[in-house]
Amino acid sequence: MHQSMALSTATVICAISENDMIGICDSGVGGLTLLKDLHKRYPHTDIIYYGDEANMPYGDRSKEELKAIFAGIKAYFKARGCQDIVVACNTLCSAIDFNDDEIVIHDIIGKTIARLNVPKDKKVLVFATPFTIKSGRYQKGLEKRGYQSIGVALKSLAKDIEEGLPKQVVKAKLYQVFEMTDAKDIGAIILGCTHYPIYKDLFYEYYNVPVFDSLGLDFGIEDSDEKGEISLHMERSDKLERFLKRYIGVDYRYEDHLGK
């Protein structure tokens, strides 16, 4: 049985800015790694980050639940006047429909697969949430490009990162999975969850092959002229502040009723 699902009921209280605006979303802190990139790439565009911690982890949810969650997030971004949504979550990208008449919805999975530039004689090992692996999006996309792949679902890594588990504990849990995974002739790894790049070094250390992720992707969005601002639609907490300081390091403010 799934945990209950909180649909977005955020009331829009701020005036819509004149600047172009990008909405970026994930189940929690994972997509913040992409937020930093986006700000670097589009420094003159306002960016709103939607961290849906109330519904985290997405990786254990059903397709119907994920679609309903995204419908709420999309409505929120539309109400803010966003022109683009970057779906910084592989799990959502494996479940949702990207067509929309009013807003451009950017996928990260297709772009991450397109990045692979390693020889095709060895297999690609994909680590992602249970939903993403079950959806087969990476496996099918890689097959189209002529790569053989193995998908490995990591049941708790996103949540462990969210909860701030010490690195040594995360390492021990990950190594257990690595040792149990029957993976030979591996030529590359894909981190198919935006939480995982924080521990990219652990994957590299064990497998010693190139590790690909969704950081630094180009979405072909046009930058605007004014200085861009970053706002967070997330509940403020000491844990989040520490995380932002450590991994993000850009200026931001909190939005709506969530940012007290």
Sheet holding 46-51, edge to edge: 104-106, 84-87, 21-26, 46-51, 230-233, 253-254
Nearest approach in angstroms of CB 16 to ligand DGL is 28
Give the torsion sign (CA, 240, 243, 244, 245). Answer: positive
CA dihedral defined by 51, 198, 34, 107, rounded to 10 degrees? -90
Known catalytic residue: 82?
A: no
Contacts of 158 (CB under 8 A, 6+ apart): 27, 28, 30, 56, 57, 59, 129, 193, 195, 196
**Beta strands 149-153; 123-128: pairing state:** parallel
Nearer to ligand DGL, 108 or 230 (CB): 108
Nearer to ligand DGL, 90 or 149 (CB): 90
Nearest approach in angstroms of CB 42 to ligand DGL is 21
* Cβ proximity of 127 and 191 under 8 Å: yes
Nearest approach in angstroms of CB 1 to ligand DGL is 17
- Residue 37 token pair: 């990139």
Three-class DSSP category at 106: strand
Nearest approach in angstroms of CB 114 to ligand DGL is 17
Q: Which of 25, 82, 89, 93 is catalytic?
A: 89
Nearer to ligand DGL, 228 or 240 (CB): 240
Known catalytic residue: 193?
A: yes
Give residues in contact with ligand DGL (CB under 6 A): 26-27, 30, 56-59, 89-91, 129, 132, 158, 193-195
Nearer to ligand DGL, 59 or 151 (CB): 59
Nearest approach in angstroms of CB 23 to ligand DGL is 16
Q: Which helix (H) or strand (E) holds 208?
A: none
* Cβ proximity of 109 and 141 under 8 Å: yes
Residues noted as catalytic = 89, 193
